[in-house]
Amino acid sequence: MEYYSWILTFHVMSFMSWMAMLFYLPRLFVYHVEHAHKSEFVEVVKIQEYKIYKYIGLPAFWATLLSGAAMLIINPILFESGEWLYAKLTVVALLTAYSFSLEYYRVQLENDECTQSGKFFRAYNEVPTLLSILIVAYVVVKTFSLLFTSITIAFFAFVIYMIFQQPKHKG
């Protein structure tokens, strides 16, 4: 337990770095798609997309995952702390899938094969915000609330609906 606080600190910092990529990369996708007719601009954005995923996002993801696993190994009593941990781990699994989906879209965009719209990526950009709110809430409050979770998901569903209702963006 002597090192637990240090691992927790590293875990939080890694999570913040991973979230920075998860928040920013889909915005780059929006710019990429909406300015596809500007080849010089797109080439610069492709470099940014690659670097933020490979040099920031992926290492931060692994650091977050490994430090989280280390905390569970060092302090297995966490598994008995309530359903909040299982809710958090479920949401982390969703966030992991989302993270890897960004690489899928990044490769499609790099190869000029992506058919998604700017609206899609604007809406997709809301996913990590929703999931990070749930993770932080479960960890801080140390409980799982179906009501809180449902309201949060409903709010983000409304936000995403509103994004798709916006008039088409002119790049």
11 labeled part of a ligand binding site: yes
Please, where are the H alpha helices in the chain?
A: 4-34, 39-51, 58-74, 83-110, 118-124, 127-141, 146-165
The position carrying tokens 């995403």 is 160
88 labeled part of a ligand binding site: yes
C-beta of residue 64 within 8 angstroms of C-beta of residue 18? yes
Contacts of 59 (CB under 8 A, 6+ apart): 17
Annotated binding site for heme: 11, 88
Annotated binding site: 11, 88
